[in-house]
Amino acid sequence: MHAATAYAHPNIALVKYWGKSNDDLNVPATPSLALTLGDLRTTTRIEAAASEVVVVDGHQVRDAKIERWLERLRGAFNLPPLRIESSSDFPANSGLASSASGFAALTLAISSAFDLDLSLQEQCEWARFGSGSAARSLHGGFVALESEGDVCRASQILDENEWNLAIAVAITSDSVKSTGSTAGMTASRETSPFYDGWLRATIEAFDLGLVAVKNKDFDALAKIAEASCRQMHALMLSTEPALIYWNAATLNCIDAVTRMRKDGINVFYTIDAGSHVKAVCEADVVTRVSEQLSRVDGVHSVIGSGIGGPAQIKDSSSPGKVSDD
Ligand code: PMV
């Protein structure tokens, strides 16, 4: 065993998943399609310790998700108690996918520290047990996540250099999201009258989204991604009790992005389980889009990002990608 540090970028879903077909194995009920945010990252360091310690953004925590994940991992591998130190350079637990980059970096760091010799596909499976979207953060660029039975496969559709898009993230709140994704997804499946329609619409949107990404068809992707976002939030609103992640600034940003597109700027919005708005645009207009969003009522700040690469081991030239079998 040796200490190891890995980092991973968060990803944002363009065709979203919300709902699981197997809660225990954390299998998404639908495929999803995402892009990686290169200028945001979570860095995680692993070392053996006398007793288990988890430190997130400088604070020692007891995190039930991480504990359950480690228990599962210990069912497969013989691991000593660990000191896990993880920090993100962006707001955590607010719908900015910190659990995706967190579990991707954690999986890669442990795999490296204990020479577990996991293939990329195996890393994706372990990361997914922690957070469904984490499997997508091990790859860079545009990534699809699909399941066959209880096995999921993440695959790269375009790498980070193949389509010159960028993302302006409008931060619209300081608070942590009200309901975590696991509890929210279960509630939607159990209470929303729209759940089956959402599954059907997402499967169709995924196929169309794949074609749009492969063809680098911005207009088609804008339409598909905005519809998937609104449909997911409609499902959330129709859940009992309602899952309302948006605030007034979220709506103001949707309005601003819609107006920019009417004015001929290639930009579209997407929003995950939180109030922040991600505006995806062509890279040459990201400064303009960021400036306009920063003037929107209720926006605290705007983070600009390019598209990111795969999760990586730090202090080493070897990338996170090992054999992809
Ligand atoms: O990764 P999870 O299981 O916490 O769920 C992520 C859910 C969304 O971010 C809202 C959508 C998605 O596909 O990433």
Q: How far is the CA of 80 from the centre of ligand 1 (A)?
A: 30
Q: What does the pLDDT average to over 19-43?
A: 96
278 token code pair: 């991600």
Ligand 1 atom closest to Cα of residue 272: 10
Atom 6 (ligand 1) nearest CA: 133
* Burial (CB count <10 Å: 0-12, 13-18, 19+), residue 316: exposed
C-alpha of residue 128 to centroid of ligand 1, in Å: 11
Contact status, residue 124 vs residue 154, Cβ threshold 8 Å: yes
CB 95 near ligand 1, within 6 Å: no
What is the distance in A from the centroid of ligand 1 to the CA of 101? Answer: 12
Q: How far apart are CA 311 and CA 81, in angstroms?
A: 24
User: Mean pLDDT throughout 243-272?
Assistant: 97
Q: Summarize pLDDT for 79-120 with one digit per residue, the tens.
A: 999 999 999 988 765 556 678 999 999 999 999 999 998 999
3-state SS, residue 34:
strand
**pLDDT for residue 321:** 39
Which residue owns the Cα nearest ligand 1 atom 3?
132
pLDDT at 317 (0 to 100): 40
**Ligand 1 within 6 A of CB of 132:** yes
Q: Does residue 210 have a pLDDT over 80?
A: yes
- Structure confidence at residue 179 as a pLDDT band (50, 70, 90): confident
Per-residue exposure over 221-252, b if at least 16 CB sit within 10 Å of its own CB, e if not? bbbbbbebbebbbebbebbeeebebbeebbbb
Which pTM does this prediction carry?
A: 0.93
Place of tokens 């309005």: 255
Query: 32 CA to middle of ligand 1, Å?
Result: 9
| DSSP-based three-state secondary structure for 53 | strand
pLDDT for the residue numbered 93: 58
What is the average pLDDT across 236-253?
Answer: 97
What is the pLDDT, as a whole number, of residue 92? 66
What is the 138 CA–ligand 1 centroid distance (Å)?
15
Which pLDDT score is estimated for 99?
87
CA-wise closest residue to 6 among 46, 38, 36: 46
What is the reported pLDDT for 90? 80
Instruction: Determine the pLDDT at residue 319.
Output: 40
Q: Is 28 close to ligand 1, i.e. is its CB under 6 Å away?
A: no
Report whether residue 272 contacts ligand 1, using a CB cutoff of 6 Å.
yes
In the prediction, which pLDDT does 1 show? 84
Q: Provide mean pLDDT across the span 58-66.
A: 91
Average pLDDT for the chain: 93
176 compared with 30, residue with greater pLDDT:
30
pLDDT score, position 94: 52
Q: How far is the CA of 264 from the centre of ligand 1 (A)?
A: 30
Instruction: Write out pLDDT tens, residues 296-312.
Output: 999 999 999 999 999 99
Q: Which single residue is written with the structure tokens 């579990």?
A: 103
Ligand 1 pocket mutation pick from 24, 68, 133, 270 by most atoms within 8 angstroms of CB? 133
228 lines ligand 1 (CB under 6 A): no
> How far does the centroid of ligand 1 lie from the alpha carbon of residue 163, in Å?
23
290 in contact with ligand 1, CB cutoff 6 A? no
229 alpha carbon – ligand 1 mean position (Å):
12
What number of helices (H) and strands (E) belong to the chain? 9, 16
| Tokens found for residue 102 | 């967190």
Tell me what pLDDT residue 318 has. 42
Condensed to tens digits (0 to 9), the pLDDT of residues 274-286 reads 999 999 999 999 9
- The span from the CA of 230 to the CA of 83, in Å, is 40
Cα 204 to its chain centre, rounded Å, is 21
Is 17 a pocket residue for ligand 1 (Cβ < 6 Å)?
yes
**41, pLDDT greater than 70:** yes
CA 146 and chain centroid, separation: 15
What is the three-state SS of 157-179? EECCCCCCEEEEEEECCCCCCCC
- Identify the band that residue 322 occupies on the pLDDT scale cut at 50, 70 and 90: very low
The pLDDT > 70 percentage for the chain reads: 94
Residue 226 pLDDT greater than 60, yes or no? yes
List, for residues 285-295, the tens digit of each pLDDT value: 999 999 999 99
pLDDT at 320 over 50: no
Can you give the pLDDT at residue 95?
55
Please write the tens of the pLDDT for every residue from 126-168. Answer: 999 999 999 999 999 999 999 999 999 999 999 999 999 999 9
Distance, in Å, from the CA atom of 304 to the CA atom of 280, rounded to the nearest integer, reads 10
